[in-house]
Amino acid sequence: MVRFGRARRRARALALLASLALFAAGPRPCRAAPQGNVGLVVGGAGAGEGGRFWQTGDFQLGLRGDVLLGRSANTDFGLGPYLELGTLGFGEIEWGGGASVLLPVHERLPLVVSAGGFGRYGDDGYGIEPGLAASIFWGSRSYNFHAGYVMAAGLLVGFRQSLGESQRSALCVGAQIDLAVLGLPLVMLLDLMRGPSAETAPVARRRR
């Protein structure tokens, strides 16, 4: 009986220690750090004025950046602001911003829905006009566990409606390409132009 009682006390002590260890190593706080992205948007647009839809086709070119908050994994939702600057057919300049929501419909290919306002100034004589904008991005945008910048590339479809005298509307479809990807060839070219670095130069001399 004495041995049986000691065994029971030891089992209880071990169970208590195991519980304390599990409690100490319990769920760690999520690391929901903000993650930003900047991309180049290239595509086309169908535009119309006076409430008419798709009178002309224009070339689309612009820059778009956003910062999403609240994510700690690829399967998390995200919310944050966005800014954009671009042109349609080089006959006008547009700028704007608003809010974006990331919907994790796929682990590595999420949807990013955005809505906000914009301003435009063109050579059509209407001056500066305000407007409303909305867009949907679908493409590659995984959560970056190592840095605050996340690379993204995919298809961007947007609609813009001017609230000024022109009543100009535009349906835009384009590809969003990450600026980091576009900058890689330039970085490689600069490295080639600089030649061997200070660390590798002595090694190269010794080999000669």
3-state secondary structure of 146: coil
| Confidence check: pLDDT of 100 > 60 | yes
Task: State both tokens at 123.
Answer: 């050579």
Whole-model pTM above 0.85?
no
Between residues 11 and 38, the one the model is more confident about: 38
Query: Which residues have CB under 8 Å from 10's CB, separation 6+?
Result: none
pLDDT of 185 above 50: yes
Q: How far apart are CA 208 and CA 198, in angstroms?
A: 16
Q: Per-residue pLDDT averaged across 81-106, rounded?
A: 96
Taken in order of first residue, the domains within the chain and their CATH numbers are: 35-194 (2.40.160)
